[in-house]
Amino acid sequence: MKLTKKFGAILLLVVSMSGCVKSQETSLFNGKDLTGWTIYGTELWYVEDGLLICESGPDKEYGYFGTNKHYKNFELNLEFKQESDGNSGVFIRSTVDGTKISGWQVEVAPLGKHTGGIYESYGRGWLIKPEAEKEKHLKVGEWNHMKIVVNGNNVTSWLNGNEMVNFDDEKIGAGEGGIVLQIHSGENVKVKWRNLTVKEL
């Protein structure tokens, strides 16, 4: 009886410790180089003054920057600062073939263009946009904090502490892939990123 109780206590401790390890927040960007990521396309991704920067390249087409690791259920936190045309996005459970992406984008865009909304590329298009009054939470020309929680069928986004959308979708729930940053096609697109962290759920 005592042995059974002791074994049960040890098992509970192991499970508890395993949960702690799984929920630990880790950095996705080391501030020095692009380790852990892959560039897709000819657009520019580089590190300067400890920041990750993306900007239009010679082809002025879509470009992507994706984690080598796949993430299913997670909380992602990051900060972005838009310069010039800051049209970008954060893809979840996504894969890239050449410069064609399969997955779902949490929008990062200029004022009035639905930052925090969810868009399905090469599929259904806009799935949900934030309510119009929530557009004001974007700080133009300043650093913005975005949090994205992906868990099962649900995706919820926050911008500067304000919930933007909360969306359930079975197709997203079945998705597999990495976290991918986007640079939009066109000229003069530039976005700076910092403090990218992920906590698996």
Closest CA to 82 of 115, 38, 131: 115
Nearest to 138 by CA among 167, 118, 112, 105: 112
CATH number corresponding to 27-200: 2.60.120.560
| Closest C-alpha to 78, from 113, 102, 111, 54 | 54
DSSP state of 136: G
14-23, 149-158, 160-169, 181-190: least confident range: 14-23
Work out the average pLDDT over 9-27: 59
What letters, b where the CB count within 10 A reaches 16 and e where it falls short, cover 46-56? eeeeeebbbbb
Beta-bridge mates of residue 15 = none
Q: Where are the domains of the chain?
A: 27-200
**Residue 185, Cβ neighbours under 10 Å: how many?**
16
Average pLDDT over residues 7-18: 47
Name the more confident of 3 and 170: 170
Question: How confident is the model over 162-189, as a mean pLDDT?
Answer: 94
**pLDDT for the residue numbered 109:** 94
190 with 53: CB under 8 angstroms?
yes
pLDDT at 21 over 70: no
Average pLDDT of the chain, as a whole number: 90
Helices (H) then strands (E): counts for the chain:
2, 15
pTM of the model: 0.87
Strands 100-108 and 88-97: antiparallel
Q: What is the pLDDT of residues 29-84, one digit of tens each?
A: 999 999 999 999 999 999 999 999 999 888 778 899 999 999 999 999 999 999 87
Residues 73-115 have pLDDT tens digits of: 999 999 999 987 778 999 999 999 998 999 999 999 999 999 9
pLDDT of residue 13 exceeding 60: no
